[in-house]
Amino acid sequence: MTWFRVDNRLVHGQVIEGWVPHLATEHLIVANDAFASDFLRQQIAELAVPENVDIHFVELEELAEVLKKCGSSTLVLFEDCRDARRACDAGVAMETLNIGNLHYAPGKTQLLPHIAVSEDDREDLRRIKEKNVVFDLRRVPTEHVRAADEQLF
């Protein structure tokens, strides 16, 4: 199974301690152009990842090819809704997109304690939904899945 998550923190405790074991993750992919070219951030992130999990840092245009090589038991992390939309637009097939964390900033509306969206975020999510992607609004796998449409749009 491949699981897709939007979380502006990318590699952090909730992902490593919650999602990785829950999904029996073998491959962790950080799909973000800036991260893919930042060797220092990559080294820091690698320190948090268990030895039995392969971590990949890829630009969004490379994601589809890397997914083919990784196969199942893969967790893909996007920093924001724009990156998730770019992946969808590039043909990456997603059944479900977990919205794990989007920090509040000026110009955003706080929807849940862990999700604040801008108008650009809303438009990106609308476009993703057009591809029949189901949204999952959880920080950790043990949380109750919340219906997303009425909150996001």
pLDDT, tens digit, for every residue of 98-116? Answer: 999 999 999 999 998 999 9
Closest to 92 in 3D by CA, of 119, 106, 74 = 74
Q: What percent of the chain has pLDDT over 90?
A: 90
pLDDT (tens digit, 9 = 90+) per residue, 31-66? 999 999 999 999 999 999 999 999 999 999 999 999
The upper half-sphere exposure of residue 77, i.e. CA atoms within 13 Å in the direction of its Cβ, equals 27
pLDDT at 149 over 90: no
pLDDT at 148 over 80: no
pLDDT of residue 99: 95
Closest to 25 in 3D by CA, of 76, 81, 62 = 76
Burial class (CB in 10 A: 0-12, 13-18, 19+), 7: buried
Q: What is the mean pLDDT of the chain?
A: 94
Which tokens hold the place of 13?
């405790």
Query: Residue 146 in contact with residue 112, Cβ under 8 Å?
Result: yes
User: For the chain, first and last CA: distance in Å?
Assistant: 28
The upper half-sphere exposure of residue 78, i.e. CA atoms within 13 Å in the direction of its Cβ, equals 25
Domains and CATH numbers, the chain: 2-152 (3.40.35.10)
